[in-house]
Chains A and B, each alone.
Chain A
Amino acid sequence: MSGGKALPRRGFLQKGLVGGALLLVGGAGSLALRSTRLSSAPRGPLKLLSLQEHAVFTAAAARIIPAAPSWPTPEALDCGGKADALLALCHPEVGVDFKRLLTLFENGLFGLVTHGRPTPFTRLDPAAQEARLDAWRRSRMALLRSGYLALTRLTHASYYSSPEVYALIGYPGPPDVPAEAR
């Protein structure tokens, strides 16, 4: 009845040989984030992410939801702070994986491999940033597609759950609760 065998760890950045290699790149955080261009300061103290990691997420979010007239930017809605707060609630291993993802996404050397630009993501111009994001989206490596989904879902979730956006998408918001039902 009791097998008692050791169970393999399968975090989403630790799958197979390729995943292991990527982890090494992503794990070199202090080096990879040394040249990160910092964004404007977070609204409040960060719970999980470093300033550099927050800057990478904020830069990615600005590409995922690019500026448009009358639409607030993800930075204006503090999507970075909201993402940080949510990740801090999750299992610690989720936070570790996400920090590695941000480091890998920012890493210039890895950028050279994926789409030919050896520059940290935060220092790329918008067109090159879009190219890197798209390279992850369309990668043949499932691991990078997972990374793309993690970044886009967290950005979209924090942005579109903000009441400031409701009117822009034609959503009136929750209805009033009928008085007789209170």
Chain B
Amino acid sequence: MATLTPDFCIIGSGAGGSVAAAVLAQAGAKVLILEEGAHHTRRAFNMQESWAYPALYQDHGNRATDDLAIIILQGRAVGGGTTVNWTSSFRAPERTLGLWRERHDVDIDAATLAPHYAAVEERLNIKEGTFDDVNRNNQKLWDGASKLGWQPELIRRSVKGCARLGYCGLGCPIDAKQSALITFVPDAVAAGAELRPDCRATKIELEGRRVVSVVAEGPDGPITVRPRRGLLVAGGAINTPALLLRNRLDSNGIVGRRTFLHPTVPVIGIFREPVEAFYGAPQSVSCHQFADRLDRVGYVLETAPVHPMLAAIAFPGHGEAHRQIAARLPFVQATIALLIDGHHDDVGGAIDVTAGGRINIAYPIAEPLREAARDAIKNMARLLLAAGAEQVMTLHDDPVTIRDEGDLARVDRTPFEPQRHTLFSAHQMGGCPMGQDTRRSVVDSRGRHHAIENLWITDGSVFPTALGVNPQLAVYAHARLFATQIARQG
């Protein structure tokens, strides 16, 4: 078995792992990145769903909660989720950072993060949003929100020279998306880091309070890594807790609990004119009108691209009724509501692993989330009708068709139970929360494990709740903060 001895071993090459690798390598450390996914580049990105989901997503596109109620879209490749995300870039809302400080004992504020956001935004070319990016799908969101006085916003995007093809989620074929795949991973490698794709970490071995080795399964067999200075885990907010649980590092039952998904509720508007929501920048407009609903769960409105396969699994039912919806694909607009979980009494979901290593994700839809979902569906319907939709269709198992305000009451009468409404998650957070209270958190506010002195976690699993906006940029910034601290400690 091959044995490697870097200063730092980093598990995962997504937002959290890549920027940490770049920071540490540029500080002179010898860094090894283990990535379980493959190293695909733009020439492989053929914009076909039949290739992209099995090749670039966790569980080959089949990741879901145990009961299949929530479809989970999560990247698995060099670049991690950034290789397949839709480029939307938000800083963490002050509202969320305040909640983390007050209720979760997290010692981070906006000023602490500001230089790290600035550095990441510079590298990823994140600039103010522009109307040039707004396709018809997003224009409907803008128009509807504007007519209702709900103040839509342009989304900042991590792109350079974007041709607005519309296929960010299947890998950018022209390298316009400034993913980790073409930014921080190459930066790290240029500074001397070694990248090992197709290499899945399985074992973490300790001596006392220190990690002494990591065992990984690679394409040429198992390898052992003996990191001289430390281990950084950045496998994402499902695989990181699962790795710790497989190694019985469960921090007295905290690991894997409080997993948050931004459960995402779609509705579709059917328009008389073509929307062609399969083309153009996938997300360029958002609406935060309902993000803060005081004592009720809030939500953010955005859009989703409407490609055939993703749309077909989102549309409810089967048979001729399903086909009739699919046949109107060019006329479909998709608006989504991201439910902001974990900011109230809801506790999210839980990860565990079987004896055979399979990851299980349990996520009960608590009543406060159901209330938010119903409210979101009604408001999305109002928005799409205001934007000119001929009709709005919910994605309940028995869809509710809405043509005017009078139809909205039917949404409240229609069951919102697991498997009776299409739900997605594209944002996974939590499971290894940060905080200063060792009884309620796994790592401290700079990502260091409370009980293992040379183990850090640098991904979205450290978020104590859902973020309330798309988390890619916040994961980068937190990981950069943590890595900068690690580098300073020598």
B114 at the interface (CB under 8 A from A): no
With contact pairs A1-B452, A137-B317 given, residues A157 and B312 touching in the complex (Cβ less than 8 Å): yes
Q: Please tell me if the beta carbons of B66 and A10 are within 8 angstroms of each other in the complex.
A: yes
B residues in contact with A156, CB < 8 Å: 309, 312-313, 315, 318, 322
Q: Please tell me if the beta carbons of B420 and A145 are within 8 angstroms of each other in the complex.
A: yes
**B323 interface neighbour in A6, A71, A171, A175, Cβ under 8 Å:** A71
With contact pairs A63-B318, A90-B62 given, residues A146 and B174 touching in the complex (Cβ less than 8 Å): no
Closest to A178 in B: B163
Interface size in chain A (residues, C-beta < 8 A): 59
A17 at the interface (CB under 8 A from B): no
B residues in contact with A10, CB < 8 Å: 66, 352, 354, 360, 362
Closest beta carbon of chain A to B60's beta carbon, Å: 5
B residues in contact with A146, CB < 8 Å: 67-69, 419
Tell me which of B249-257, B260-268, B479-487 binds A. B249-257
Chain A residues 38-73 with CB under 8 Å of chain B are 63-66, 68, 71
Q: Please tell me if the beta carbons of A65 and B323 are within 8 angstroms of each other in the complex.
A: yes
User: For the complex, what is the distance from the CA of A150 to the CA of B296, rounded to whole Å?
Assistant: 32
Size range of the chain B interface in the assembly? 35 or more
With contact pairs A169-B326, A170-B327 given, residues A145 and B54 touching in the complex (Cβ less than 8 Å): no
Q: Please tell me if the beta carbons of B319 and A64 are within 8 angstroms of each other in the complex.
A: yes
**A7 interface neighbour in B62, B249, B353, Cβ under 8 Å:** B353
B residues in contact with A130, CB < 8 Å: 319
User: For the complex, what is the distance from the CA of A168 to the CA of B71, rounded to whole Å?
Assistant: 26
Tell me which of A26-34, A103-111, A113-121, A158-166 binds B. A158-166
B residues in contact with A64, CB < 8 Å: 318-319, 322
**B309 interface neighbour in A68, A89, A161, Cβ under 8 Å:** A161
Q: Please tell me if the beta carbons of A181 and B327 are within 8 angstroms of each other in the complex.
A: no
**A170 interface neighbour in B67, B174, B330, B352, Cβ under 8 Å:** B330
Q: Please tell me if the beta carbons of A3 and B66 are within 8 angstroms of each other in the complex.
A: no
Q: Please tell me if the beta carbons of A174 and B167 are within 8 angstroms of each other in the complex.
A: yes
Q: Please tell me if the beta carbons of A93 and B352 are within 8 angstroms of each other in the complex.
A: no
With contact pairs A7-B353, A63-B319, A161-B49 given, residues A91 and B312 touching in the complex (Cβ less than 8 Å): no
User: For the complex, what is the distance from the CA of A10 to the CA of B358, rounded to whole Å?
Assistant: 10
Counted as pairs of residues, one from A and one from B, with CB atoms less than 8 Å apart, the total is 167
Closest to A169 in B: B329
Q: Please tell me if the beta carbons of A171 and B329 are within 8 angstroms of each other in the complex.
A: yes
User: For the complex, what is the distance from the CA of A145 to the CA of B420, rounded to whole Å?
Assistant: 8
User: For the complex, what is the distance from the CA of A11 to the CA of B354, rounded to whole Å?
Assistant: 9
User: For the complex, what is the distance from the CA of A142 to the CA of B419, rounded to whole Å?
Assistant: 7
User: For the complex, what is the distance from the CA of A130 to the CA of B318, rounded to whole Å?
Assistant: 10
User: For the complex, what is the distance from the CA of A154 to the CA of B61, rounded to whole Å?
Assistant: 11
Q: Please tell me if the beta carbons of A165 and B308 are within 8 angstroms of each other in the complex.
A: yes
Question: Interface code B145-166, partner A: CB below 8 Å = 1, 0 otherwise?
Answer: 0000000000000000101011
Q: Please tell me if the beta carbons of A161 and B60 are within 8 angstroms of each other in the complex.
A: no
Chain A residues 74-122 with CB under 8 Å of chain B are 82, 86, 89-94
User: For the complex, what is the distance from the CA of A180 to the CA of B54, rounded to whole Å?
Assistant: 29
A residues in contact with B327, CB < 8 Å: 168-170
Closest to B438 in A: A1
With contact pairs A168-B327, A181-B161 given, residues A137 and B352 touching in the complex (Cβ less than 8 Å): no
User: For the complex, what is the distance from the CA of A148 to the CA of B248, rounded to whole Å?
Assistant: 35
A residues in contact with B313, CB < 8 Å: 153, 156-157
B405 at the interface (CB under 8 A from A): no
With contact pairs A11-B354, A175-B279 given, residues A2 and B249 touching in the complex (Cβ less than 8 Å): yes
**A161 interface neighbour in B163, B308, B356, Cβ under 8 Å:** B308
Chain B residues 346-376 with CB under 8 Å of chain A are 352-358, 360, 362
With contact pairs A8-B352, A12-B67 given, residues A157 and B309 touching in the complex (Cβ less than 8 Å): yes
Residues of B that sit less than 8 Å from A by CB: 46-50, 53-54, 59-62, 66-69, 71, 161, 163, 165-167, 173-174, 176, 245, 248-253, 278-279, 307-309, 311-313, 315, 317-320, 322-323, 326-331, 352-358, 360, 362, 397, 417-420, 450-452
Q: 10 smallest A-B Cβ distances: which pairs?
A: A174-B47, A160-B312, A145-B419, A161-B50, A181-B174, A1-B451, A161-B309, A156-B312, A3-B250, A170-B330
A-B contact pairs, 7 of them (CB 8 A): A12-B66, A63-B319, A93-B354, A157-B53, A161-B48, A169-B326, A174-B48
18 other contacts beyond A7-B355, A86-B61, A169-B326, with CB at 8 A cut-off? A1-B452, A3-B252, A11-B66, A64-B322, A68-B320, A90-B62, A94-B59, A149-B419, A155-B318, A157-B61, A160-B326, A161-B50, A169-B329, A174-B165, A174-B167, A181-B174, A181-B176, A182-B174
